[in-house]
Structure 1
Amino acid sequence: MSLITLTTDFGTKDHFVGAVKGAIYSELSDAKIVDITHEISPFNITETAYILKNSYKSFPDKTIHIVGVDSELSKDNKHIAIELDNHFFVCPDNGIISMIASEIIPTKIVEINIHDRVESSFPVLDVFVQVACFIARGGNLTVIGKEIQTYKKMIEIQPKVSQAQNQIVGGVVYIDNYGNVISNISKKMFQEIGKGRRFKANARRYSFSKIFTKYNEVAGDSAHDSIQYDGDKLALFNSAGYLEIAIYRSNLDSVGGASTLLGLGYRDSITIDFINDSKPDYTPLT
C-alpha cells in the first residue's frame, strides 16, 4: 500500500482536492491518502515550506508528498521530484523545498519531463499524480525526469547573522490557527550564536528578554490560578523548534492572537540582539 500526502492551497470549497484524490485512486486503488492541509494562504511558498518541514517527518519512510502551491508550469517555475531523507516530494521548483533541503542534502533531484506527453492547466492533477503513482510502483526518478543538481532557494527563509555574531535578523514565516506568530529563527541557531549570552528579542515595538519552553510557564507558580495571565504576551521555542511570539491562551474571538494584538504579519522582521556581559538574567536553554 502506498502512502501519499497532499499539501495545497486549494481550499475545500472547490472540486480540486476531490479530483486529485480520485485520480490517485484510479491509478492506485489501494493507495492511502493523507491531507496535510489544503488551507495554505494562496501562493504562499514560505508558509508551505514551514508546514512541509514540520509535517513530513511524522510519516514513515518512502512516503510520497504531493505539494500543490504555485504549481503552474513556466520557464522560471519548473516541476521537480526529489528524494530526500528517505521521502519523495513532487512539487514545483519555486523554493518550497528550501527549508528541508537547507539542512538535509537531497539524494536525487530530477526535473520532470513528461509535460510533452501531457497538456494541462492543472498540473497537480495531470502531472504530479502520474509522477507520484509511478514512484509508488517502484519507478526510478530518472525515468520521468532529467537529473539536476540544484533547486531554487528562497533567501528569505533563512535568517541572517551579523558579522560580529551579535544579532540574528529573522522574520515571520507563519501565523497559526491561534494567531501565534512563528519566525524562521531556530532554537539551534539561537544557542549556537547566543552561547549563553543575555539577549533581547524584538518584534515591532515589543521586546522579550526571556524565552519560555512551554506556554503555561508564563504563569509561574500561579499555574493553579492562571486565568489572570490570559492575554499575556510571551516568546518561546515551539514544538517545531522555532521562535514563536504568542499570547497566553489566545482566543481570536475574545482575547485575540499575537498577530492582531501586536500588529505582526507575514515577513515582518524579528531580531535577537545578544549582549556581551557577564550578567545573565535568564536560564540558558538546554
Structure 2
Amino acid sequence: MAIITLTTDFGEKDPFAGAVKGAIYSELETVRIVDISHSVSPFHITEAAYIIQNAYKNFPNGTIHIIGIDSELTPENNHIAVKLDDHYFICANNGIVSLITRDIVPTEMVEINIHNRVTTNFTVLDVFVQAACHIARGGTLGVIGKPLSEIKSLTGIQPVVNKSQKQILGNVIYVDNYGNVVSNITRKLFEDIGKGREFKLEARGVEMSKIYNTYSEAINFTIDRSKREEDGKKLAVFNSGNYIELAIYKSNPSTVGSAAQLFGLDFRDTITINFQD
C-alpha cells in the first residue's frame, strides 16, 4: 500500500488539511495518508525543510511526500517532483528541496506540467494530489513533468568556517515545540573542524563549553535530587537529527521558560563556536 505524507503550514483550524486528505482518498482509496506536520510557520521554507528532512528517512522507500509551503504557482515558483533517496517529494521549486538534498544527489527531477489538465485555485489540493496519486499507482515522473537539470537553491543559511579553521559561524534554523533552538551546525562539521579541541559556544551572551549526546547526560544523577542542577539547566546537545541544539532541561515555554525565550534567540540568529589551539 502506497504512503503519502503531508507537510504544510495549513494549521489545524482551517479546512485545508482535511480537504487535501479527502481529495487523495477520492482519487485513490487504498492509499495511506500520514501527517508529518501542519504547524509549520506560514511560508517558512527553512523550518519545513528541517521537519521533512528529519522525518522522511523513517518512512519506507517509495513514500511520496507532499510539501505544501509557499506552493502557489507563479512565473518564479514552478512546481516540481523529485525522486531522492528512494523517496518522492512534490512541492514548489522555492528552495526547499535544496535544503533536503544538501548531501544527497536526486535520482530524477521534473517540472510538473499537468496544470492545463487540472482546474485549480488550490495547488496542493489539485495538482500536488494528482501528481502524488499518479506516482502511488506506479506512474513515472516523466508522464507528469519535463526533465529538470537543476533546482532553486537557498543561500546564506549554511554555516561558515573561517580560513584558520578555528571558528564556525552558524545560525538558528528551527525552534521546536519545547522552545529548543536548533542550529545549522551538524555534528559532522563540528567534529571535522574541531578535531577534539576544546571550544566555547556563544549565542547572545550565553556561553557553553560542552555538547551532550542526550538531554539527561547533562544531569548528575549520582547526587541527591534536591542538590542537583536539573529543571532549568541550560545545555547544548546533538539532537536526533545530529544538529547542535541549545536547550533548557525539561523546558516548558509557558512555565519555566525555554531556550528561545531565556536566551533571546530566534530564526537566523548567530551561534558561534570558537576552537582553542
TM-score (ref. length: structure 1): 0.93
Unaligned runs of 5+ in 2: none
Shift of 1:215: 1.1
1:137 aligned partner:
137
2:127 aligned partner:
127
Shift of 1:116: 2.2
Amino acid at match of 1:225: R
Shift of 1:66: 0.4
For residue 156 of structure 1, give the secondary structure of its aligned residue in structure 2. coil
Residue 260 of structure 1 pairs with residue 261 of structure 2: yes
1:279 aligned partner:
none
1:86-130 per-position Cα deviation (integer Å, ceiling 9, x unaligned): 000001111111222111100000000111222422100010000
Shift of 1:223: 6.2
CA distance in 1, matches of 2:269, 2:222: 33
Amino acid at match of 2:166: N
1:242 aligned partner:
243
Shift of 1:224: 5.5
CA distance in 2, matches of 1:235, 1:137: 45
2:22 aligned partner:
22
CA distance in 2, matches of 1:224, 1:154: 49
For residues 85-124 of structure 1, the aligned pairs below 5 Å read 85-124=85-124
Shift of 1:221: 4.2
1:57-82 per-position Cα deviation (integer Å, ceiling 9, x unaligned): 00000000000001011111110000
1:283 aligned partner:
none
Change over 3 Å in CA distance of 1:14–1:167 after alignment to 2: same
Amino acid at match of 1:232: K
Identity of aligned residues (%): 58
Shift of 1:157: 3.4
For residue 220 of structure 1, give the secondary structure of its aligned residue in structure 2. coil
Shift of 1:198: 1.3
For residue 115 of structure 2, give the secondary structure of its aligned residue in structure 1. coil
Q: Is the 8 A contact 1:98 1:157 kept in 2?
A: no
CA distance in 2, matches of 1:229, 1:222: 12
For residue 109 of structure 1, give the secondary structure of its aligned residue in structure 2. strand
Q: Which moved more, 1:75-84 or 1:147-156?
A: 147-156
1:247-274 per-position Cα deviation (integer Å, ceiling 9, x unaligned): 0111222110000011011111111111
Unaligned runs of 5+ in 1: 277-286
1:126-163 per-position Cα deviation (integer Å, ceiling 9, x unaligned): 10000000011111101111111111111233211112
Shift of 1:50: 0.3
Q: Which runs of 4+ in 1 moved over 3 A?
A: 221-224
Change over 3 Å in CA distance of 1:59–1:223 after alignment to 2: farther
Q: Which moved more, 1:152-161 or 1:134-143?
A: 152-161
Q: Is the 8 A contact 1:2 1:31 kept in 2?
A: yes
